[in-house]
Structure 1
Amino acid sequence: TAPPLASDPLIALPAGPSAGADWRIRPVPEPEVYGAGVATAVARMWRGEFSKVVLARTLELTSGAPLDLPGMLQRLARRDPSGYTFALPTGPERTLIGASPELLVSRHGNQVVANPLAGSTPRSHDLAEDVRRAATLLESVKDLHEHAVVVDAVHQALAPHCTGMTVPARPTLIRTATMWHLSTTVTGTLSSPGTSALDLAMALHPTPAVCGTPTRTARQVITETEPFDRGFFTGVVGWGNADGDGEWVVTIRCAEAEERTLRLYAGAGIVAASEPEAETAETAAKFRTFLSAVGAEL
């Protein structure tokens, strides 16, 4: 096995240019269809059927040349060295590859950490505009509510497994190369040494950050709205050892690679205050993480 990419001293170097493949890109669904799905979900929320759902869309990329997966992995890691970059086989000639910013849960000894993210806004190349967007996100009633729902769910799921927990009252900000996210670091002390990191991940998943509230209804809305199978998207990827320690991250900012094709995934948390155009733009911004690693543009 290889050491973590974050320990590679070359990770601090700028990402090299992509090979510049000639990509054919097909959105599934089309942006207009995705926006209509968001509008329908919002209307149902105003009728009181549920309070949040995470709706995703995909991009199917086809290249005329074989995929350079090691090169993609290095570019993903160097663009966001503080994130969680991964690549693992999921079937014959199939690979799940991505760079997740979100730690679902870790366990080291009796210390438990979860870092839910919910509430996002795209970065800007203009410094002043980028700072303005970050400040606006920190004060956004819509995004703060969306974030609070996720943090409460994480707290409730971990509480039975911990003797004490610390849950900050307000979120902070984290950034990736393409997005600002509201972030809360939840910590706790494990009550039983027999509870592994994977046990904790199973207790947490799926959080409202990838599914919705209430969970059963949100799952049904996702099934009715998304015209594709999520596969490993919004699952978990990580590691665990015989002592029960481990780290599990949410499988986002990812793609499934097979021969000369990539299927990219991006989702957005939809609440009653959501606007279809804004949520479509947010998913487009999240696609940029992977598009930049392969030299493609929407």
Structure 2
Amino acid sequence: MPKLLIESFYTEFSVSEIIAALFKTAVSKQFSFSAWRLPLQENLQISITFQTEIIPENFPLENAPAGFIMHPFSVSEKNKPYFLKADLLFEADLKAEEISGDDLTSSPLADDFFSALKAALQTPETDTKWHIADSETNATPRAGFEELVENAIHFIKKSETEKIVPSRAAEKHLPPHFSPVNGFLKLTQQYPLAFVSLVSAPEIGTWLGASPEILVQKDRNNIFKTMALAGTQKLVSGQNAADAIWRQKEIEEQSMVVRYIISCFKKIRLREYVETGPRTAVAGNLLHLRSDFCVNLNEQTDFPTLTSDMLHLLHPTSAVCGQPKAAALAFLNKHENYDRRYYSGYLGPVNVNAETAVFVNLRCLELRQNEAILYAGAGVTQDSDPQKEWLETELKMQTVAKALQILTMPDDTATGY
């Protein structure tokens, strides 16, 4: 791959200014922009896509070029799965103030992009524009969500369903002169353990988030990973995560996800895997129960498409849908009464630097013209309390929104939970 020479012209600007200009140029050209920071890593990756590609449900990750996948919770005419091929791929080191990149295409659009990038750096704008999707998402009032939880509890008790994960959306005004890139950079600083991402595409809109949950991952050493993450409680200031006490409701909720992952392994007849956990994991202002699963594909040579196979078997997991999947999904389709769009779908880099890391799209928001649409859900079992499930969604929304000064929430809102 030919290495892009970062011209001396660019040294006049900080890396954050260059990233902002990359974003501005992509949006102005109707290109797609993806930026992300993997958990526990310092460097950022930025991808520019000249043309998005609609992909099939059984899209094979192993054969894909370098790029970024964005998949909705449920595929529909309005919400389609897209692959954002990395036509231009950058790596940014904010501490060293260095940025480099690869031109992965022979398209003349690359030269045009860099000409526009120079102009964007020389003429910074106060008000940033971003891609806005042609869609509507209705906010869910508290009474409506608590009624939805009550209905879910009733449905669980009268059926063989173990768990349902209803969700809701909220609309909040953006602060003046809000910058998606600044928001992205702030999230990378505040949540080092999360997968932090900013995606803006004409067909998808603009999404910003800090997800704690790996769906599937294959690293450059050919090690496959997935996780079971469920159960939620507030992280109390000064609390040691290892001292957290979990109720039976959360323990059972997380064990359902564990059993579901194991059932997916059984479907493809994979028997050799390493399971660790559950343990308490910190995710922003929240604690969760987490179990990790690992498969060494250097030893398990009969599963060359394990990453794709598990991705398609796992989604939507019981952590975002319910268990059993078919019954829970049917309930949500009938009663949830709003469009999740890409919330609780999945997203992440594919075959970038010889690694694939796909995460569940949680702790996220969608940007509109002057407001943010926040999303959150709660795992409901027969032992759930509708008021506590509402408070759980408030806490989850706070993870990203409070960091971006979009939403403030009184500290006593979640007292006792």
Give the alignment's TM-score, normalised by structure 2: 0.61
User: More helix by proportion, 1 or 2?
Assistant: 1
Distance 1:28 1:244 in 2: 40
Secondary structure of the residue that 1:136 maps to in structure 2?
A: coil
Instruction: Give how far 1:277 is off.
Output: 1.1
1:260-275 equivalence runs, <5 A:
260-275=370-385
Give the equivalent residue in structure 1 for 2:278: 171
Q: Pick from 289, 293, 296: which aligns with 1:182?
A: 289
Q: Pick from 128, 135, 158: which aligns with 2:244?
A: 135
Cα pair distance change 1:65/1:50, threshold 3 Å: same
Instruction: Give how far 1:162 is off.
Output: 3.6
Give the equivalent residue in structure 1 for 2:224: 112
Q: Do the aligned residues in 1 keep the contact of 2:344 with 2:360 (CA within 8 Å)?
A: yes
Give the alignment's TM-score, normalised by structure 1: 0.84
Distance 1:133 1:279 in 2: 23
Distance 1:195 1:293 in 2: 38
- 1:231 maps to 2:338: no
Distance 1:2 1:187 in 2: 26
Distance 1:3 1:208 in 2: 25
Matched AA of 1:84: F
Instruction: Give how far 1:57 is off.
Output: 1.1
Distance 2:153 2:401 in 1: 29
Distance 1:34 1:71 in 2: 32
Q: Deviations over 1:86-124 (max 9, x none)?
A: 111242692111000011111134421112201111122
Q: Do the aligned residues in 2 keep the contact of 1:94 with 1:256 (CA within 8 Å)?
A: yes
Q: Pick from 141, 159, 166: which aligns with 1:48?
A: 159
Task: Provide the identity percentage.
Answer: 25
- 1:7 maps to 2:42: yes
* Gaps in structure 2 of 5+ consecutive residues: 1-33, 44-92, 96-136, 410-417
Instruction: Give how far 1:79 is off.
Output: 1.4
Secondary structure of the residue that 2:383 maps to in structure 1?
A: coil
Q: Do the aligned residues in 2 keep the contact of 1:158 with 1:204 (CA within 8 Å)?
A: no
Q: Deviations over 1:55-112 (max 9, x none)?
A: 1111112337453101111121111111100111242692111000011111134421
Q: Do the aligned residues in 1 keep the contact of 2:37 with 2:188 (CA within 8 Å)?
A: no
Distance 1:92 1:112 in 2: 31
Give the equivalent residue in structure 2 for 1:218: 328
Instruction: Give how far 1:33 is off.
Output: 1.5
Q: Pick from 187, 206, 212: which aligns with 1:95?
A: 206
Tell which structure's C-alpha radius of gyration is larger: 2
Q: Pick from 390, 394, 398: which aligns with 1:280?
A: 390
Q: How many residues align?
A: 278
Q: Do the aligned residues in 2 keep the contact of 1:100 with 1:252 (CA within 8 Å)?
A: yes
Secondary structure of the residue that 1:7 maps to in structure 2?
A: coil
Decide which moves more: 193-202 or 228-237. 193-202
- 1:58 maps to 2:169: yes
Runs of 4 or more, structure 1, over 6 Å off, are: none
Give the equivalent residue in structure 2 for 1:21: none
Q: CA RMSD in A?
A: 2.7
Matched AA of 1:7: E
Secondary structure of the residue that 1:281 maps to in structure 2?
A: helix
Matched AA of 2:149: V
Decide which moves more: 257-266 or 278-287. 257-266
Distance 2:306 2:208 in 1: 25
